[in-house]
């Protein structure tokens, strides 16, 4: 059993999140389920996560969400403003995000998590 912990930004209602959590667990890793809707990450945490992902804030936005359509569709925001939007509306954050040490990936599809086990 591998004692290393892999963090998963997780929404329990999301089947892809559940699939990723199962794949990580099956490989013998401890999982830390980061329920970001219950305890949203702050701006600093989001910035660090984006750095690990190698992404810009807009790339993390779920554009199909109703809150996006109501408040942000057609708007051009700076990276800092998108971070503010993610803090205010954590449901805009794409998922699942898997973090292992200083690296993170967007695990869509769930099988992308295999990159961490090579």
Q: Element (H or E) spanning 33, and its range?
A: strand 30-34
3 state SS of 73: coil
Contact 90, 2 (CB under 8 A): no
Give the ranges where 27-117 is alpha helix by DSSP (H).
Answer: 43-53, 66-71, 79-88
Residue of 2, 4, 14, 79 marked active site: 14
Q: What is the largest CA-CA distance in the chain?
A: 48
Does the annotation mark 17 as catalytic?
no
Q: What percentage of the chain's residues is helix, strand, coil (to nearest 5)? A: 45, 15, 35
Q: Which residues does the annotation mark as catalytic? A: 14
């Amino acid at each position: 059993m591998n004692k290393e912990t892999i963090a998963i930004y997780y929404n329990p209602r999301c089947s892809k999140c559940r699939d990723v959590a199962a794949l990580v667990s099956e490989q013998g890793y401890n999982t830390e389920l980061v329920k970001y809707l219950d305890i949203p990450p702050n701006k600093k945490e989001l910035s660090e996560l984006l750095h690990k992902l190698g992404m810009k804030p807009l790339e993390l936005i779920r554009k199909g969400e109703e809150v996006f359509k109501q408040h942000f569709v057609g708007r051009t925001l700076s990276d800092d403003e998108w971070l503010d939007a993610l803090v205010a509306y954590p449901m805009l954050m794409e998922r699942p995000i898997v973090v292992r040490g200083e690296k993170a990936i967007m695990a869509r599809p769930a099988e992308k998590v295999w990159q961490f086990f090579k």
